[in-house]
Amino acid sequence: MCCVSIPQSEWKPLELPSGTAIVIADSGIRRSLTNSAYNDRRNACEQSVEILRKYLPAIRSLRMFFGRAGSLFHIPAPEIERRAEHVVKEIHRVDQAIIALQRGDARMFGGFMFSSHKSLRDLYEVSIPELDYLVEIARGLPGIYGARLTGAGFGGCTVNLVAQKDAADLSRDCRRAIARRLDV
């Protein structure tokens, strides 16, 4: 794994916790960012920075907002506030996830993955039912530590952290659960 910090242009390799594997589950839904509402999400975040700058003039990005006095209640538009809340909390989750990986703590890292998916679904609103279903299937399977959508949402895949010994079973059990749901 690799961790990149864009503002500082730094990266460092991070190891997966011992005995774990990554399994990618494809929703089968193709997406195109040019035709999706992803750009609307980015614009909402930029608008939130402009609004917050009225109260905190030094703010140049939502990354700078975390840990500052005040809160997102200064943002009058609920949709823009939700987008900003996701980004601010996601930045914190990533920072904490790095610590979990450095400690080799698969459960903690997986918990951040599940939390991230929930935020992407409820606050940033880029998930779709198929991705939510894949995450929920994974959540109920043995050996799973965490799951979340990957990429910009609106289709694509989930990334799942699973005990290495259960990786093949996760793939098989996901296929079976999808077939049952589709009644195939």
Do the bridges between strand 10-13 and strand 2-5 make them parallel or antiparallel, or are there none, so unpaired?
antiparallel
Residue 19 has pLDDT above 90, yes or no: yes
pLDDT of the residue at 69: 41
Q: Over the stretch 72-112, which tens digit does the pLDDT of each residue have?
A: 667 888 999 999 999 999 999 999 999 999 999 999 999 99
Task: Provide the sign of the torsion angle of the four alpha carbons 6, 9, 10, 13, taken in this order.
Answer: positive
pLDDT of the residue at 14: 93
Of residues 65 and 67, which shows the higher confidence score? Answer: 65
pLDDT of the residue at 111: 98
Residue 6 has pLDDT above 60, yes or no: no
Of residues 50 and 64, which shows the higher confidence score? Answer: 50
Which residues, including other chains, have CB under 8 Å from residue 125's CB and lie 6 or more apart? 41, 82
Residue 71 has pLDDT above 70, yes or no: no
Q: In a 3-state reduction of DSSP, which class is residue 128?
A: coil
Which residues, including other chains, have CB under 8 Å from residue 88's CB and lie 6 or more apart? 62, 65, 66, 72
Residue 184 has pLDDT above 60, yes or no: no
pLDDT of the residue at 5: 54
Given pLDDT bands bounded at 50, 70 and 90, which one contains residue 52?
confident
Computed over every residue of the chain, the mean pLDDT equals: 87
Mean pLDDT of all residues in 141-166 = 94
Given pLDDT bands bounded at 50, 70 and 90, which one contains residue 33?
low
Cα 26 from Cα 146, distance rounded (Å) = 16
The pTM (predicted TM-score) of the whole model is: 0.88
